[in-house]
C-alpha cells in the first residue's frame, strides 16, 4: 500500500505500526461493487490502485468466456500496481495499458466511451479525477449499465451544513447539529450502528429512511436506492428525516 501523507491516516498507520507477524482483525466483506449478469461486452476501466476489484472481475469474465476489455491507466509502468500479475493473467487481446509518460499508449476517455454497443456495461474504479472524467463521459449512458466504486465521495458544494432532526422508529427525536455527523448523533442516542470508512464509500452504516428529504453525499447508493436508503456517516437532511432504525 502506498503511503498517503495527506490521507486520513490509515496508510500512514500501516506503514508505521504493521510489520511481519502483526495480527489484524478483519470483518466479513460487503460487496457494493458486484459484477452483474449480462450478455453484452464489458468494459473495465481502472486507474492506479483501482485495478484491484477490476482485476478480480476480469478473472471471472475470463472463466465465463464473456467478452471484455480491461483498460488500465497509470502514471508509468514503474508505478503501476500489480502490473506483472495483470500481464500474466489477462490475454493481450483483452488488455489495454495506458501510461501518462508513454504518449503512444495514452487514451482519451471521452473518445473511448463515445461509441458504445447498446448492451455494453462499464465498470470503473480509481482516483477522484479519473472517476470524474468517466462520470462525465457516461452521463448519457443508462444508469443500470454504469457501475463504479470510489475511494471517496465526489466533492460537495461549499454550502454550510445545516442542523436537522432524525426521528427513530420508536419516536425518539435525535437532533443533529450542523457540525455533527448523523452517524455520531444516532450513536449518541443509544443506537448501535456499525460503520467502517465513515467517509461515505463502504456502505457499512447504510440504513433505510421512511420520510423526509435527505441530502445524499455518499459514493455508494444508486439513484434508485437513494429514494429509500441513507448513509449517515456523511449524508444529511433538510428539516426532519424519519429513519428505519
DSSP character string of the chain: ----TTSSSHHHHHHHH--TT-----PPP--SS-----SS-EEEEEEGGGHHHHHHHHHHHHHHT--EEEEEEES-STT-TTHHHHHHHS-GGGEEEEETT-GGG---HHHHHHS--TT-EEEEEE-HHHHHHHHHHTTTS-GGGEEEEESSPPPP-SPPP--EEEE-TT--EEEE-TTS-HHHHHHHTT-----SSSSSSS-TT-EEEEEEEEE---SS--TTGGGTEE-TTT-EEEEEEEE--
Give residue for cell 441530502. 215
Most confident segment among 2-11, 51-60, 216-225: 51-60
Question: Mean pLDDT in the chain?
Answer: 90
| Structure confidence by residue, pLDDT tens digits, 52-96 | 999 999 999 999 999 999 999 999 999 899 999 999 999 999 999
| Confidence band for 134, pLDDT divided at 50, 70 and 90 | very high
Which of 135-138's residues contact partners 24+ apart within 8 Å by CB, and which partners? 136/110, 137/109, 137/110, 137/112, 137/113, 138/113
pLDDT at 15: 86
pLDDT at 157: 58
| Structure confidence by residue, pLDDT tens digits, 103-126 | 999 999 999 998 778 889 999 999
Percentage with pLDDT > 90 across the chain: 67
Bridge partners (DSSP) of residue 198 are none
| Confidence band for 32, pLDDT divided at 50, 70 and 90 | confident
Of 137, 93, 88, nearest to 115 by C-alpha is 137
**Quick one: cell of 80?**
503501476
Which residue has better confidence, 16 or 227?
227
Q: What is the number of alpha carbons within 13 Å of residue 178 lying toward its C-beta?
A: 4
| Confidence band for 36, pLDDT divided at 50, 70 and 90 | confident
For the purposes of burial, counting CB atoms within 10 Å of the CB of 76, is it exposed (0-12), middle (13-18) or buried (19 or more)? exposed
| Confidence band for 26, pLDDT divided at 50, 70 and 90 | confident
Among 10-14, 63-67, 196-200, the minimum mean pLDDT is found in 10-14
| Structure confidence by residue, pLDDT tens digits, 142-178 | 988 999 998 877 666 556 789 999 999 999 999 999 9
Asked if 161 and 179 count as a contact pair (C-beta separation under 8 A), the reply is yes
Percentage with pLDDT > 70 across the chain: 96
Q: What is the value of pTM for the model shown?
A: 0.76
- Is residue 8 over pLDDT 80? no
Amino acid at each position: 500500500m502506498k503511503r498517503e501523507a495527506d490521507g486520513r491516516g490509515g496508510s500512514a498507520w500501516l506503514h508505521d505500526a504493521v510489520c511481519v507477524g502483526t495480527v489484524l482483525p478483519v470483518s466479513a466483506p460487503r460487496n457494493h461493487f458486484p459484477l452483474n449478469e449480462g450478455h453484452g461486452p464489458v468494459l473495465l476501466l481502472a486507474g492506479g490502485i483501482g485495478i484491484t476489484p477490476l482485476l478480480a472481475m476480469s478473472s471471472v469474465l475470463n472463466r465465463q468466456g464473456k467478452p471484455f476489455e480491461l483498460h488500465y491507466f497509470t502514471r508509468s509502468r514503474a508505478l503501476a500496481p500489480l502490473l506483472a500479475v495483470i500481464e500474466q493473467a489477462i490475454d493481450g487481446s483483452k488488455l489495454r495499458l495506458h501510461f501518462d509518460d508513454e504518449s503512444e499508449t495514452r487514451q482519451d476517455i471521452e473518445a473511448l466511451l463515445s461509441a458504445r454497443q447498446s448492451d455494453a456495461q462499464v465498470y470503473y474504479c480509481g482516483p477522484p479525477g479519473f472517476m470524474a472524467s468517466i462520470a462525465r463521459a457516461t452521463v448519457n449512458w443508462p444508469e443500470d449499465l454504469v457501475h463504479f466504486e470510489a475511494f471517496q465521495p465526489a466533492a460537495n458544494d461549499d454550502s454550510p451544513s445545516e442542523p436537522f432532526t432524525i426521528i427513530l422508529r420508536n419516536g425518539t427525536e435525535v437532533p443533529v447539529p450542523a457540525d455533527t455527523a448523523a452517524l455520531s448523533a444516532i450513536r449518541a442516542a443509544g443506537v448501535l450502528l456499525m460503520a467502517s470508512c465513515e467517509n461515505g464509500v463502504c456502505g457499512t452504516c447504510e440504513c433505510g429512511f421512511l420520510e423526509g428529504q435527505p441530502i445524499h453525499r455518499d459514493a455508494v447508493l444508486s439513484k434508485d436506492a437513494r429514494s429509500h436508503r441513507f448513509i449517515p456517516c456523511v449524508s444529511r437532511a433538510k428539516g426532519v428525516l424519519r429513519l428505519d432504525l
